[in-house]
Chains A and B, each alone.
Chain A
Amino acid sequence: MSAATEAAVPGQRPAIRVRRRFHFGLSQRQFLVVLVAVFILLFVLMVLESGAATAGNEVWRGLVLGAIYALIAVGYTLVYGIIELINFAHGDVFTLSCFYSIFLAGIPGVQPGFFQRFFGFNLNALAGSGPGGLVLALLIIFPITMTLAGLTGVLIERVAYRRLRDAPRLAPLITAVGVSFLLEGIMFAFFIPPAPPGHPGYATPGSAYPTGEDGWIPTTQVLFHLGGSNGVIIGANDMLVVVVAIVAMFALSGFIRYSRTGKAMRASAQNRDAALLCGININRTIAATFFIGSAMAAVGGIIYSMHYHTITWNQGYQFGLIAFTAAVLGGIGNIVGAGIGGFLIGLIESFTVTLLPNGGSWALIVVFAVLILVLTLQPTGLLGMRVPDRA
């Protein structure tokens, strides 16, 4: 890309868009405008077809689903931006982080959590004790899970990718696939869900793991209705997912833009050798990138556990694939693009359900059809393929 023309000056806000023309003579900005217009048109169609309440609910469902895709997509995009590796193990780091959060919190009445086992302090009970307790529990579980996931990411990079940094592209790609299968195998074989009460002998490898975090914010708890009691249901749990995702994305953006490490990441992404000459520790910077990407996946993992209540050892495969699609759709290497791509895919899925007859069956088909369409018209994705020097 045209990185040279837009070299970021440290401490200065870099330019956001590369104006790039393609066959139809639309610039990147115009392309986005067309896209937004299409979405608005589809929304109007939805309102006409199913009423405003349903249309609103579907948009909200799409945002909730998209929030988790977006958080995972960021990890793909960060790593790609800095070492141009598609880290296929990232989806499994997401699954692992779900497990970390369960092991910390425990499952009420079935399996004590880490704190309860070693310090006699029940995180689930704290979360259920009221708003203050909930906030405190969240403040405990988020940093610890994110750190654990981050260290996992760093370990994977150290073991499977670092030595291959200057090897042909295919080599780290294959080790990435290998790490993915390795992690899935470990989760299948060792993270065996406890038997349900009264059914000994049902604890078998690979079955779905209940998270027991239902008590934190019940999915049935409605925060408010948008537009009357029959309007859009804004659940407390849904709201948590969306708010946490947006806050995390902004925090990440700020971190990449303003922190020393963030600047080092941007510099390494632009030109690794030059960064090295400037005294940037490349190994540490790349490790930091993996740490941050994995920690973002952990944010997704925690809210996934709280939202869906069931973890399966291989869920990272499908989530990873869709999140990777989101990253490509937004422009791989581009953090804002990954976020927008994630929300976009969530919205496409929910729009399809409403607009097409028996649309649920078509959701993934439409998602990937849109991907093909966007990439053939705009091969660099919606916001342009960028390295994270322009977060």
Chain B
Amino acid sequence: MLALAAAACGSTSSTPASSSSSSSSSSSAPSGLAACTGTVTVATELPVSGNDASDGVPTQNGATLAVDQANANKTLGGCTLTLINKDDTSAQTGAHDPTQGASNMTALAGNQSVVGVVGAFNSSVCEAEEPISNAADLVQISPSCTNPGLTIPGSNSSIDTNSLRPSGKITFFRVCTTDIGQGAGLAQVAKSTLNATKAYVFDDQETYGAGLAATFITDFTKLGGTVVGHSSLPSTTTDFTSELTQAKSDGADLIFFGGTSSTGGGIIRKQMASVGLGSLPFLGGDGIQDTQFFTEAGSAGDGAYSTIAAPNTADLPTAATFVSDYTAKFNSAPGAYSANAFDAMNIIITAIKQAITANGGKIPTSPAAFRESVRANVAAINYSGAIGTTSFDSNGDTTNKLLTLWVGKNGQWTYSSTLTVQG
């Protein structure tokens, strides 16, 4: 409430340091921002409890780090950033829930002081949130929603992309590669790296999982592979052995899973052994790239493969500072999408800074004008951050298309190689 009042008034001072008269110093301050007073609110919307916590928490940490650093470095001069963290895990599902996400986004959109949101993590949640943030002209940057239909009209028959943008403007952006790229990359890995010709495909019936499985099937078939079977199972399934027995009987030499650890990734890997498929490679998308996968798969997780639509931060020179800052602050290595969230939040912060500078160093008094200004700045951004240089195309997709392959070793995801992506 305090943040709301402060930002809405624009000139209310909330910190002792900036309590001197603001009107006289605004023109004389060298940066143009020293005279800025008040707080600007940004938000994250990620699954940080329940089964997706091992995905959501490190991602939220990345965004938190960006906000803390901006406040410490006085990036916005006299203004400070306030961060609201929302959790889209619901008690009904115990994992990410589009309904919960939509309700969170409605709250954020209704909060006039919020000018940018990093999230959501899962495509199904992004899909539910996109129309809400769009109608409120609130910029939303997802670190990890990879379903192509969220941004590219006509790319997914089950998503009407244009209906996700009721205002007609582009308000939803993402810093990750879409599943068009990821599916093609995974098919490439299956065919060339793992020498598979017969794949048995599982998916979890969700926007992300079913979409990824569909693009994988298309691309794998295009490369000359055969899909011997395909099972779409509810995300609550705990026994996959009947399907795996069928896969064995069909002579599958690869098990592919479109889904996340919370919807069965680690369990399938574990159960492969009990039907005599323990030696087969298991391949999945970025949804299984977390610690939860190994909690469930145990030692069977070794030899599983997954890609993520993000770089290997440990290997990337631009990410070195980020990795050491993150590790120092959170006492743990960054997660798969921590750097994406860090850059996404920094892009929003940069856009906010530009908006305030353009307004003569003050927070725009009209919340709607402030949001629109931030949105336009994000659309036009050219930001060099931890994951490289990010700018957005006319759909809101990043031009910095990254995909890396990781393999399970000793209970951890270990970097294997970087893939080239066209999609």
Binding site for B on A (CB under 8 A): 50-51, 53-54, 57-58, 61-62, 64-65, 184-185, 188, 193, 196, 198-202, 204-208, 210, 214, 219-220, 233, 235, 237-238, 308-310, 312-315, 317-318, 349-350, 353-354, 358-361, 363-364
Given the complex of chains A and B, what is the CA–CA distance between A193 and B145 in angstroms? Answer: 27
A residues within 8 A CB of B276? 233
14 new A-B contacts, CB < 8 A, other than A57-B275, A205-B50, are: A51-B249, A58-B246, A61-B239, A206-B49, A208-B292, A208-B296, A210-B295, A313-B94, A353-B245, A358-B229, A360-B233, A361-B232, A361-B233, A363-B233
Q: Show 5 A/B contacts (Cβ-Cβ < 8 Å), sorted by A.
A: A57-B248, A206-B94, A207-B54, A208-B295, A353-B243
A207's partner among B205, B273, B292, B412 (CB-CB below 8 A) is B292
A residues within 8 A CB of B411? 196
A-B pairs, top 8 by smallest CB distance, nearest first, are A360-B231, A204-B53, A54-B249, A206-B50, A361-B232, A350-B242, A353-B242, A219-B274
Q: Which of B179-187, B264-272, B302-310, B343-351 contacts A (4 or more CB under 8 A)?
A: B264-272
Given the complex of chains A and B, what is the CA–CA distance between A220 and B411 in angstroms? Answer: 18
Residue of B nearest to A355 (CB): B246
A351 CB, nearest partner CB in chain B, Å = 9
B238 close to A (CB within 8 Å): yes
B332 close to A (CB within 8 Å): yes
A residues within 8 A CB of B205? 361
A residues within 8 A CB of B332? 199-202
- Determine whether the beta carbon of A54 is less than 8 Å from that of B248: yes
B238's partner among A61, A185, A308 (CB-CB below 8 A) is A308
B231's partner among A65, A317, A358 (CB-CB below 8 A) is A358
B250 CB, nearest partner CB in chain A, Å = 8
Interface string of B252-263 (1 = CB under 8 A from A): 000000000010
Given the complex of chains A and B, what is the CA–CA distance between A302 and B239 in angstroms? Answer: 16
B267's partner among A205, A233, A235, A310 (CB-CB below 8 A) is A310
B234 close to A (CB within 8 Å): yes
A147 CB, nearest partner CB in chain B, Å = 26
B residues within 8 A CB of A199? 54, 291, 332
Given the complex of chains A and B, what is the CA–CA distance between A51 and B412 in angstroms? Answer: 38
- Determine whether the beta carbon of A53 is less than 8 Å from that of B249: yes
Binding site for A on B (CB under 8 A): 48-51, 53-54, 57, 89, 91, 93-94, 202, 205, 229-234, 236, 238-243, 245-246, 248-249, 262, 266-267, 270-271, 273-276, 278, 291-292, 294-296, 298, 330-332, 411-412
- Determine whether the beta carbon of A188 is less than 8 Å from that of B91: yes
Given the complex of chains A and B, what is the CA–CA distance between A205 and B95 in angstroms? Answer: 11
- Determine whether the beta carbon of B296 is less than 8 Å from that of A309: yes
Residue of A nearest to B230 (CB): A358
B residues within 8 A CB of A353? 231, 242-243, 245-246
A residues within 8 A CB of B271? 219
Report which residue of A233, A310, A349, A363 has the largest number of chain B beta carbons within 10 angstroms of its beta carbon.
Answer: A310
Residue of A nearest to B89 (CB): A206
Given the complex of chains A and B, what is the CA–CA distance between A260 and B231 in angstroms? Answer: 50
Given the complex of chains A and B, what is the CA–CA distance between A61 and B331 in angstroms? Answer: 44
A210's partner among B230, B240, B248, B296 (CB-CB below 8 A) is B296
- Determine whether the beta carbon of A309 is less than 8 Å from that of B49: no
B63 CB, nearest partner CB in chain A, Å = 15
- Determine whether the beta carbon of B50 is less than 8 Å from that of A54: no
Given the complex of chains A and B, what is the CA–CA distance between A358 and B278 in angstroms? Answer: 22
A residues within 8 A CB of B54? 199, 202, 204, 207
Residue of A nearest to B50 (CB): A206
Given the complex of chains A and B, what is the CA–CA distance between A309 and B268 in angstroms? Answer: 12
B330's partner among A201, A220, A364 (CB-CB below 8 A) is A201
- Determine whether the beta carbon of B291 is less than 8 Å from that of A202: yes
B residues within 8 A CB of A313? 94
- Determine whether the beta carbon of A315 is less than 8 Å from that of B89: no
Given the complex of chains A and B, what is the CA–CA distance between A204 and B233 in angstroms? Answer: 26
- Determine whether the beta carbon of A206 is less than 8 Å from that of B51: yes
A148 CB, nearest partner CB in chain B, Å = 23
- Determine whether the beta carbon of A184 is less than 8 Å from that of B246: no
B residues within 8 A CB of A58? 242, 245-246
